Amino acid sequence: MSEFSQSYHLRTSDKEEVITLLKRSGKHGYVFEPTNGWVTFVVADGDFSADEEVTKQNRGTLVHYVYAEDHGWELLVYHSNQIVFDFNCAWEDDLVIKAEKLDVNVIAKLILEQGNAVENFESIFEIKDIEELFALETPPAFLIADLLGIIHYNWISYENVHDDPSFFQGLTEI
Protein backbone atom coordinates (compact mmCIF):
# COMPACT_ATOMS: atom_id res chain seq x y z
CA MET A 1 0.00 0.00 0.00
CA SER A 2 1.37 3.39 -0.98
CA GLU A 3 1.58 6.29 1.40
CA PHE A 4 -0.76 9.24 0.91
CA SER A 5 -0.17 12.07 3.37
CA GLN A 6 -1.71 15.52 3.54
CA SER A 7 -1.34 17.81 6.53
CA TYR A 8 -1.12 21.41 7.64
CA HIS A 9 1.41 22.83 10.07
CA LEU A 10 0.91 26.20 11.76
CA ARG A 11 4.02 27.88 13.19
CA THR A 12 2.90 28.21 16.80
CA SER A 13 3.12 26.46 20.13
CA ASP A 14 -0.51 27.33 20.91
CA LYS A 15 -2.94 24.61 19.88
CA GLU A 16 -5.83 27.06 20.41
CA GLU A 17 -4.65 29.11 17.40
CA VAL A 18 -5.29 26.12 15.14
CA ILE A 19 -8.64 25.37 16.79
CA THR A 20 -9.65 28.99 16.15
CA LEU A 21 -8.43 28.76 12.53
CA LEU A 22 -10.51 25.64 11.92
CA LYS A 23 -13.59 27.25 13.48
CA ARG A 24 -13.13 30.44 11.39
CA SER A 25 -12.81 28.34 8.25
CA GLY A 26 -15.84 26.19 9.13
CA LYS A 27 -13.85 22.97 8.74
CA HIS A 28 -13.90 19.67 10.59
CA GLY A 29 -10.52 18.25 11.49
CA TYR A 30 -8.07 16.96 14.06
CA VAL A 31 -5.39 18.98 15.83
CA PHE A 32 -2.18 17.47 17.21
CA GLU A 33 -0.24 18.64 20.24
CA PRO A 34 2.44 21.28 19.57
CA THR A 35 5.92 19.97 18.73
CA ASN A 36 9.01 21.94 17.77
CA GLY A 37 7.02 25.16 17.40
CA TRP A 38 4.50 23.62 14.99
CA VAL A 39 0.92 22.51 15.48
CA THR A 40 -0.09 19.88 12.92
CA PHE A 41 -3.67 19.49 11.83
CA VAL A 42 -5.71 17.68 9.18
CA VAL A 43 -8.94 18.79 7.56
CA ALA A 44 -11.90 16.76 6.29
CA ASP A 45 -12.62 16.55 2.58
CA GLY A 46 -9.04 17.20 1.52
CA ASP A 47 -8.29 16.62 -2.15
CA PHE A 48 -4.51 16.90 -1.86
CA SER A 49 -4.59 20.61 -2.54
CA ALA A 50 -4.59 23.40 0.04
CA ASP A 51 -8.08 24.17 1.29
CA GLU A 52 -9.06 27.64 0.10
CA GLU A 53 -11.02 28.52 3.23
CA VAL A 54 -8.25 27.38 5.59
CA THR A 55 -5.62 29.43 3.74
CA LYS A 56 -7.97 32.41 3.47
CA GLN A 57 -8.54 32.40 7.25
CA ASN A 58 -4.87 31.83 8.13
CA ARG A 59 -3.13 34.61 10.11
CA GLY A 60 0.28 33.03 10.71
CA THR A 61 2.91 30.96 8.95
CA LEU A 62 1.21 27.88 7.56
CA VAL A 63 2.76 24.93 5.72
CA HIS A 64 0.66 22.61 3.56
CA TYR A 65 2.43 19.27 3.03
CA VAL A 66 1.47 16.54 0.58
CA TYR A 67 3.28 13.29 -0.11
CA ALA A 68 1.92 10.61 -2.43
CA GLU A 69 4.56 7.92 -2.56
CA ASP A 70 3.87 6.79 -6.13
CA HIS A 71 2.92 10.17 -7.56
CA GLY A 72 4.69 13.20 -6.09
CA TRP A 73 4.98 15.70 -3.29
CA GLU A 74 4.12 19.33 -2.64
CA LEU A 75 5.13 21.97 -0.14
CA LEU A 76 3.32 25.28 0.15
CA VAL A 77 4.07 28.03 2.68
CA TYR A 78 1.64 30.83 3.48
CA HIS A 79 2.19 33.99 5.49
CA SER A 80 -1.30 35.03 6.51
CA ASN A 81 -3.39 34.25 3.45
CA GLN A 82 -0.60 34.88 0.92
CA ILE A 83 1.39 32.06 -0.60
CA VAL A 84 5.11 32.77 -0.29
CA PHE A 85 6.55 29.40 -1.33
CA ASP A 86 5.17 26.90 -3.82
CA PHE A 87 6.85 23.67 -4.90
CA ASN A 88 5.20 20.71 -6.60
CA CYS A 89 7.09 17.65 -7.84
CA ALA A 90 5.14 14.97 -9.71
CA TRP A 91 6.23 11.78 -11.41
CA GLU A 92 4.70 9.15 -13.58
CA ASP A 93 6.87 8.52 -16.64
CA ASP A 94 8.80 11.78 -16.27
CA LEU A 95 9.61 14.21 -13.49
CA VAL A 96 7.48 17.36 -13.63
CA ILE A 97 8.28 20.26 -11.31
CA LYS A 98 6.08 23.30 -10.89
CA ALA A 99 7.48 26.04 -8.71
CA GLU A 100 5.87 29.41 -9.24
CA LYS A 101 7.20 30.86 -5.96
CA LEU A 102 10.41 29.03 -5.23
CA ASP A 103 11.81 31.49 -2.70
CA VAL A 104 14.35 29.34 -0.86
CA ASN A 105 14.92 32.20 1.60
CA VAL A 106 11.47 31.45 3.05
CA ILE A 107 12.50 27.85 3.70
CA ALA A 108 15.99 28.83 4.94
CA LYS A 109 14.44 31.14 7.54
CA LEU A 110 12.13 28.38 8.82
CA ILE A 111 15.01 25.88 8.95
CA LEU A 112 17.18 28.34 10.88
CA GLU A 113 14.32 29.10 13.30
CA GLN A 114 14.28 25.38 14.02
CA GLY A 115 17.99 25.49 14.84
CA ASN A 116 18.99 23.34 11.86
CA ALA A 117 21.81 24.02 9.41
CA VAL A 118 20.90 25.27 5.96
CA GLU A 119 23.90 23.95 4.03
CA ASN A 120 22.83 22.34 0.76
CA PHE A 121 19.11 22.20 1.59
CA GLU A 122 18.40 23.80 -1.81
CA SER A 123 19.38 20.50 -3.47
CA ILE A 124 16.04 19.12 -2.27
CA PHE A 125 14.38 21.39 -4.84
CA GLU A 126 16.95 20.91 -7.62
CA ILE A 127 16.39 17.30 -8.66
CA LYS A 128 16.47 17.12 -12.45
CA ASP A 129 15.16 13.70 -13.43
CA ILE A 130 13.26 10.70 -12.14
CA GLU A 131 16.40 8.51 -11.89
CA GLU A 132 18.04 11.04 -9.57
CA LEU A 133 14.88 11.19 -7.46
CA PHE A 134 14.61 7.43 -7.02
CA ALA A 135 18.33 7.07 -6.31
CA LEU A 136 17.89 9.04 -3.07
CA GLU A 137 17.87 7.06 0.15
CA THR A 138 15.28 9.37 1.75
CA PRO A 139 12.47 11.08 -0.17
CA PRO A 140 13.00 14.85 -0.51
CA ALA A 141 9.59 15.45 1.09
CA PHE A 142 10.79 13.70 4.25
CA LEU A 143 14.09 15.58 4.22
CA ILE A 144 12.43 19.00 4.12
CA ALA A 145 9.85 18.09 6.79
CA ASP A 146 12.68 16.97 9.08
CA LEU A 147 14.69 20.15 8.44
CA LEU A 148 11.63 22.26 9.23
CA GLY A 149 11.17 20.35 12.49
CA ILE A 150 7.80 18.96 11.47
CA ILE A 151 7.22 15.68 13.29
CA HIS A 152 3.72 14.65 12.17
CA TYR A 153 3.87 14.16 8.41
CA ASN A 154 4.44 10.46 7.66
CA TRP A 155 1.16 8.65 6.90
CA ILE A 156 -0.77 11.65 8.25
CA SER A 157 -4.04 12.56 6.55
CA TYR A 158 -7.58 13.22 7.67
CA GLU A 159 -8.61 9.73 6.57
CA ASN A 160 -5.79 8.01 8.48
CA VAL A 161 -6.49 9.98 11.64
CA HIS A 162 -10.28 9.68 11.36
CA ASP A 163 -10.08 5.89 10.83
CA ASP A 164 -8.12 5.36 14.06
CA PRO A 165 -7.85 8.52 16.21
CA SER A 166 -6.82 6.43 19.25
CA PHE A 167 -3.54 5.62 17.44
CA PHE A 168 -2.52 9.28 17.69
CA GLN A 169 -1.96 10.75 21.14
CA GLY A 170 -3.29 14.11 22.27
CA LEU A 171 -5.64 14.80 19.36
CA THR A 172 -8.39 17.36 19.57
CA GLU A 173 -11.31 16.89 17.21
CA ILE A 174 -12.96 20.03 15.86
Tens-place pLDDT, residues 128-142:
999 999 899 999 999
User: Against a cut of 0.85, is the pTM above it?
Assistant: yes
| Confidence at residue 2, expressed as pLDDT on a 0 to 100 scale | 86
| Confidence at residue 158, expressed as pLDDT on a 0 to 100 scale | 97
CB 157 within 8 A of CB 46: yes
Band of pLDDT at residue 6, cut at 50, 70 and 90: very high
CB 16 within 8 A of CB 31: no
CB 113 within 8 A of CB 106: no
Mean predicted confidence (pLDDT) in 1-18: 95
H helices present in 12-139, as ranges: 15-25, 52-57, 104-113, 130-135
Band of pLDDT at residue 47, cut at 50, 70 and 90: confident
Domains of the chain, by residue range, sit at 4-173
Mean predicted confidence (pLDDT) in 115-125: 94
